Amino acid sequence: MIDREQIGIRIGALRRKAGMSQTALAERLGVSAQAISKWESGKNLPDIDLFRELAWLFNMTMDSIVEGDLAFTQKSRERILPANVTALAPEVEKQKLLLGLAPYCSDTELYSIAKELADGNLELSLAAGIKRKEEKTERMVSIPTGALGECTLREVAPYFSKALGEMMGNTEPGLRRIAGMMSCPVCRERLLLKNKDENKRYFECKNRHRYELTDGVVHFGTREIQGELWSLFLKNYEDYLLQHYYPGNPRYNMGKVSSKEVRWQVLKKLRPHIILDIACGTCNGIKYDLQRIDWPCLVILTDLSHRVLKYGKRYFSEELVNPYVDIVCLACDCAHLPIEDNSIDMVVSCGGFESMQSKMMDGFREGYRVLKPGGHAVYDFSVVDDHNSENTKKWERLYRTLDETYHLHEQLYEIGEWKEVCRRTGYLSTEAKEIYRELPAPEDEVFPFENEVLQWMGVSVFVSEK
Ligand SMILES: C[S@@+](CC[C@H](N)C(=O)[O-])C[C@H]1O[C@@H](n2cnc3c(N)ncnc32)[C@H](O)[C@@H]1O
Ligand SMILES: [Zn+2]
């Protein structure tokens, strides 16, 4: 039996531990302060989505909140230190700190940090400010890392590791991490990150093809598809969402579960460390995951449009910041990804493949190429029910009457046909989870949707393993 009162007590304890008022927590979750008060007094339980959000916020497993594992055990992110690192730092204090940093660093980075620590070149501390109410200036107290308990260390480790990475490599950690797996989309030679002049970083291959970093985005010289101006959507992002999610729109709230949630469940289970989003656009899809990922992860956002990524980059480094995630943006054609074979743990596409229009299949094959063996492609994709059914036949007929520029891809697929495409591409297995099925065709002979031609098709989330 679920003990509401005990769950409430635990929620209250976690909230106080996080230093939040009921109102602050309510704001974070988008509920009323009364709702929080009702949970904490055991009158009500948060619904499942909010529960997940709470667990994420407090860095707990849902189980430990529900089951009342009294120690409130946090999710384990333990790793053992490589031998060469331990040798450099035999002291318990230093090892404790390095263990805290380990999940966020590569072994090489960890080694350089240990080396600097051993040489006495680094001092890490936590700064805290104290200020009398009526005084203007704040007194700063510096707490040496040796004095920090394990829990605090764990909480600050992602911040330390980011700062340390920047200090040592002089570049963003994400860029350093991706540098080893980039290849020139023109000649396929390795791309190296050059930063002779700190402000002008660029990637270059040995044939001197050069790709500069502009506004934090690696620019492969691509531009938006003529006439599409996807990035304008972002300028009025709220409007864009409204356009798509108004109740008269058939896609509004369709499906019992959203494709975002289905994808997130897969992500959470597989815990990939390197994710590539194909044709990420306004990041409406991956944003859901970027709010939830709680393991060290590199997320590579790719899109044709430099402008769309430029806004995205700013959004994810200033507004929606997840300390576990390093973001890298590549303005490139996803039909020629500037990434080496077998280097990505998970390729995601939130309606991205279809957006590539005539290049859809090239993008799909590229996704396969860059995946590591054993890696997964997780993407939502539009499918028709059955070419022989009267409903699908009518839709297909109307679809073909549209202006040619509306044709996103040559062929419309049933689930089974698409699975066969995956098999031919090389995937070992493909599972489909239906989000919603094809809409009923209209009574008359007019195609009812102005520019969202795929709205009438069904949507499934496909998970394919390489
Ligand atoms: C509607 S968005 C896709 C939805 C997006 N994944 C999301 O979650 O919000 C379409 C994007 O596809 C991009 N796109 C179209 N063709 C592309 C290509 N060949 N390579 C990369 N991106 C492409 C467009 O620039 C646009 O930003
Ligand atoms: Zn080249």
Pick the CATH number of 4-68 from 3.40.50.720, 1.10.260.40, 1.10.3720.10, 1.20.1250.20: 1.10.260.40
In one-letter notation, the amino acid at residue 423 is: R
Kindly state if the Cβ of 109 falls inside 6 Å of ligand 1. no
Indicate which residue's Cα is closest to atom 6 of ligand 1.
Answer: 280
Kindly state if the Cβ of 333 falls inside 6 Å of ligand 1. yes
Residue 165 vs residues 72, 81, 97, 105, 200: alpha-carbon distances, Å:
31, 18, 15, 8, 18
**Ligand 1 pocket: which of 238, 241, 303, 409 to mutate (most atoms within 8 A of CB):** 303
Find the ligand nearest to 208 CA: 2
Show the tokens assigned to 88. Answer: 């450099």
Q: CA 116 to CA 50: how far, in whole Å?
A: 43
Residue 57 CB burial class (10 angstroms; 0-12, 13-18, ≥19): middle
Match 């203007």 to its residue by tokens. 136
**Ligand 1 pocket: which of 259, 304, 307, 454 to mutate (most atoms within 8 A of CB):** 304
Kindly state if the Cβ of 231 falls inside 6 Å of ligand 1. no
**Predicted local confidence at residue 230, as pLDDT:** 62
Q: CA 65 to CA 58: how far, in whole Å?
A: 10
In one-letter notation, the amino acid at residue 341 is: D
Find the ligand nearest to 354 CA: 1
Sequence spans of domains, the chain? 4-68, 83-169, 176-213, 230-465
Instruction: Tell me the pLDDT tens digit for each residue of 47-85.
Output: 887 887 787 777 777 777 777 653 433 333 445 787 888
Find the ligand nearest to 186 CA: 2
Indicate which residue's Cα is closest to atom 11 of ligand 1.
Answer: 281
The vertex-311 CA angle with 305 and 313, nearest 5°, equals: 95
**Predicted local confidence at residue 79, as pLDDT:** 58
DSSP string of 174-187, one letter each residue = HHHHHHTTBB-TTT
**Predicted local confidence at residue 77, as pLDDT:** 40
Q: CA 105 to CA 273: how far, in whole Å?
A: 12
Question: Is residue 73 within 8 Å of residue 64, measured between CB atoms?
Answer: yes
Kindly state if the Cβ of 264 falls inside 6 Å of ligand 1. no
Q: CA 224 to CA 230: how far, in whole Å?
A: 7
Q: CA 138 to CA 68: how far, in whole Å?
A: 39
**Predicted local confidence at residue 229, as pLDDT:** 62
H helix or E strand, kind and range, residue 234:
helix 230-235
Find the ligand nearest to 205 CA: 2
Indicate which residue's Cα is closest to atom 8 of ligand 1.
Answer: 285
Show the tokens assigned to 429. Answer: 């297995």
Residue 295 vs residues 105, 149, 290, 298: alpha-carbon distances, Å:
12, 21, 11, 10
**Predicted local confidence at residue 428, as pLDDT:** 97
Question: Is residue 187 within 8 Å of residue 210, measured between CB atoms?
Answer: no
Question: Is residue 7 within 8 Å of residue 14, measured between CB atoms?
Answer: no
Judged by phi (left if over 0) then psi (alpha if -120 to 50, else beta), residue 15 lies in alpha
**Ligand 1 pocket: which of 235, 277, 329, 355 to mutate (most atoms within 8 A of CB):** 355
Kindly state if the Cβ of 454 falls inside 6 Å of ligand 1. no
Match 């990505």 to its residue by tokens. 344
* Pairing relationship of beta strands 274-277 and 344-350 according to DSSP bridges: parallel
**Predicted local confidence at residue 235, as pLDDT:** 46
Kindly state if the Cβ of 360 falls inside 6 Å of ligand 1. no
Kindly state if the Cβ of 338 falls inside 6 Å of ligand 1. no
Cα of 111 vs centre of ligand 1, distance in Å, is: 39
Residue 418 vs residues 135, 185, 426, 429, 437: alpha-carbon distances, Å:
67, 27, 13, 12, 15
Show the tokens assigned to 53. Answer: 């959000």
Residue 119 vs residues 88, 106, 116: alpha-carbon distances, Å:
9, 20, 5
The vertex-322 CA angle with 317 and 325, nearest 5°, equals: 90
Atom of ligand 1 lying closest to residue 280 CA: 6
Kindly state if the Cβ of 359 falls inside 6 Å of ligand 1. yes
CATH of domain 230-465: 3.40.50.150
Q: CA 138 to CA 371: how far, in whole Å?
A: 50
Cα of 193 vs centre of ligand 2, distance in Å, is: 13
Cα of 280 vs centre of ligand 1, distance in Å, is: 5
Instruction: Tell me the pLDDT tens digit for each residue of 237-295.
Output: 455 555 555 555 555 555 567 888 899 999 999 989 899 999 998 888 899 999 899 88
Chain-centroid distance, C-alpha 417: 29
Task: Give me the residues of the chain with pLDDT under 70, please.
Answer: 1, 68-79, 103-108, 168-171, 196-199, 226-256, 403-410, 450-453
**Predicted local confidence at residue 73, as pLDDT:** 35
Cα of 370 vs centre of ligand 2, distance in Å, is: 18
Kindly state if the Cβ of 362 falls inside 6 Å of ligand 1. no
